[in-house]
Amino acid sequence: MKSSKECITIKAVQAIHKPRKQVSHQRKHLMTATRDGVPAVILQTLLGGLFLTGYLLYLGAESSEVGFVLAVTTLFNVLQILVRT
């Protein structure tokens, strides 16, 4: 028979090492989508709009060249949707 000291030690170890809760499939997929979406949003922010315009102006581009580059990026985004289907 185990002594009371051993029983207390075993209970303490069991309390520390509780099994983790099972994560549902939906929660796993949500975490995966979030991990995938964060870099996509960062790249979209850096490659479009104000940042790209400022960078082109820093490089010395004229307003017509800035307009062309911004139009081309929008065109390629639309073409990407059409090509996938």
Q: What is the dihedral of CA 35, 37, 41, 42, to 10 degrees?
A: 20
User: How far apart, in Å, are the Cα atoms of 49 and each of 12, 15, 56, 71, 73?
Assistant: 58, 54, 11, 11, 10
DSSP 48: S
pLDDT, residue 68, reads 93
The answer to whether the predicted template modeling score (pTM) of the entire model surpasses 0.85 is no
- Residues 2, 4: Cα–Cα separation, whole Å: 7
Reading the chain (85 residues) residue by residue, the pLDDT tens digits are 556 655 566 666 566 666 667 878 898 899 999 999 999 888 888 777 888 899 999 999 999 999 999 889 888 888 888 887 6
pLDDT, residue 61, reads 94
- Residues 85, 80: Cα–Cα separation, whole Å: 9
